[in-house]
Amino acid sequence: MTRPQRPSLASTDDLTQAADIDINLALAQLIEQRYRSPIIRPSTVVDVAALIDESFPRGEESLEHLVDQITNATEQYPRRNTHPGFFGWIAPSGLPSDPLAHAMVSVLNENVGTYQASPVGTTIEKTVIRWLADLMHFPQQSEGVLLSGGSMANMSGIASACTKRFGPGYRQQGLAAFSRESQPVIICSQAAHFSIRRAAAMLGIGTDNIIAIDTDAEFRMRVDHLDEALRQQQNVICVVASAGTTLTGAIDPLEQIAELCAKHEIWLHVDAAYGGGGLMSAELRPRYRGIERANSVVMDLHKWFFQSLDGSLLLYRDASSARQLFFESSDYLRANADSSPEEYMFFHITPELSRRFRALPFYISMRSYGIERLGRNALHNVQCAEYLADLIRRESELELIAAPQLSILCFRYIAQELDDASIDQINSAIRDQVQLEGDYLMSPTQVRGRPALRVCIVNHATRVEHIDGLLASVLRIGRALSQ
């Protein structure tokens, strides 16, 4: 028998050496950029590509050179979510502890899929989940998992609701087996996030089978219309309520919705991807009354919990339906349905297998700053929004469209002598000009079919002077354009 040829060292390169670079110095310039204006600079694909080496990699460049390349590119064409004047999309501001924590995640490089694969990672994630469950007064037996974002979390929660609605056979037979007499439907409000439509499409329910309930003057789901829909529909998978809609920050009447879902024995899924961070504040917590009765809740830590990307909590009051749907066992990964804590597997309640150590940055920030301190910052964001709303009400040239229920509000510049079309053009131009000036940014949006100025305050660095500065810019630009 021929002896196997042993690979020589010449057949490989040593990649085990530590990077020859001071990480603190490498990150210093990027950290210094965080609060610098402009927030965003207009660019084309050609502009940015000119700063990025797109040639096939040959491994000839130093880390210092690569850091300089990226630092220069992001300095020339930034998109600074971290800037205190960033009022656009619900984007993460990040915390000072995040660079260290995320570096630790990278160095450890653990796959937190099971206790055996990551004992410390699993313990820390379950600890973080317990903290968040306690904020909502969920029962001790509740379980959760940190996913990549609200879209994945919403889809997973609705998929689990399918199993609860149709029973264990749903996993084997699929949706078609339970659609013979009537189409399964999802009920949500017209203001629900579009990830609900995407979930319906990906799960085979179909977007045509979403019943969108009208909203009231405050953009909240109308409970009377929900009651009517529940009495008419025979095959409801779940009701999706919002605790902080993306457009206006509205909180649906959770207590009344929970009461109706309990009456009809319907799964209640609460999308608090944006608004969940307000639960850290004792003063804001009463606004979420009823969320503790949900069957599943989604909260993005990388939104109003001030964390850097990414981490979205999917919390189950009772994870048995999720476990019926996602439970798997294989030859290389044997598992029992009733396992010991040392055999705990997150992928039994989620579609994800490989999972990075998402809980570590949150664990470090919570223990370092404390939930109460972060909650005070969330409350300050709401107070800034309410302060801005009061300023708008005092100005005859401004119209408050949606008063803040949390930290989002929408308003419009108006001029009595102009028609609606002209006013709409001015508001779009105001938003564009504010962005070009660089100190503030509002995302383009429409409310009830007309352009609006939307202010979303989810940054722990935002102060009253930034609110004053934004409004002064809006008035100055609006007056100039309406001449």
Compute the residue count for the chain: 483
Which class for 139: exposed (0-12), middle (13-18), buried (19 or more C-beta within 10 A)?
A: exposed
Tokens 């609900």 locate to 196
For residue 221, the tally of other CB atoms under 10 A from its CB is 29
E strands along 157-252, which residues? Answer: 185-189, 210-213, 236-242
Contact 318, 142 (CB under 8 A): yes
DSSP for 465-480 reads HHHHHHHHHHHHHHHH
> Is residue 250 packed enough to be buried (19+ CB in 10 Å), middle (13-18) or exposed (0-12)?
buried
Cα separation, 113 vs 369, whole angstroms:
27
Q: Which residues contact 27 (CB under 8 A, 6 or more apart)?
A: 99
11 secondary structure, DSSP code: G
E strand spans, 149-235: 185-189, 210-213
| 3-class SS of residue 303 | coil
pLDDT, position 24: 85
The pLDDT value given to residue 168: 85
Confidence (pTM): 0.94
Pairing of strands 185-189, 296-300: unpaired
Residues whose CB falls within 8 Å of the CB of residue 23, separated by 6 or more in sequence, listed in order: 103
d(CA 113, CA 358): 11
How is residue 321 written in tokens?
């339906």
Q: For residue 434, what is the enclosing H or E element? A: helix 420-437
Distance (Å, whole) CA 483 – CA 471? 19
Q: 154, 385 in Cβ contact below 8 A?
A: no
- For 164, counting Cβ atoms within 10 Å of its Cβ (0-12 exposed, 13-18 middle, 19+ buried), the class is buried
The reported pLDDT for the residue numbered 3 is 78
The domains of the chain, with CATH numbers, are 103-369 (3.40.640.10), 372-481 (3.90.1150.170)
Strands in 109-191 per DSSP E: 143-147, 185-189
Q: In what order do the strands lie in the sheet with 450-456?
A: 398-402, 408-413, 450-456, 444-447
The residue among 228, 179, 231 whose CA lies nearest residue 208 is 179
Rg of the Cα atoms in the chain: 25
Region for residue 278 given its phi and psi (left: phi exceeds 0; alpha: psi -120 to 50; beta: otherwise): alpha
CA distance 328 to 337: 9
DSSP 8-state assignment for residue 348: G
Residue 268 near residue 258, CB atoms below 8 Å = yes
The confidence score (pLDDT) of residue 210 equals 98
- Please give the C-alpha separations between residue 315 and each of 199, 239, 276, in angstroms, as whole numbers: 17, 16, 12
Query: Which tokens in the block code for residue 330?
Result: 């294989």
Extended beta strands in 36-103, E state: none
- First and final CA of the chain: distance in angstroms? 94
Going from the first residue of the chain to its last (483 residues), give the mean pLDDT of each consecutive group of 10, the final group possibly shorter.
71 68 86 92 95 91 91 94 94 92 95 94 97 96 96 97 94 91 95 97 96 97 98 96 97 98 98 98 97 98 96 97 86 62 89 94 96 97 98 97 95 92 96 96 93 96 97 97 90
Are the C-beta atoms of residues 116 and 342 closer than 8 Å to each other?
A: yes
* pLDDT score, position 402: 86
For 178-205, letters b (16+ CB in 10 Å) and e give bbeeeebbbbbbebbbebbbebbeebeb
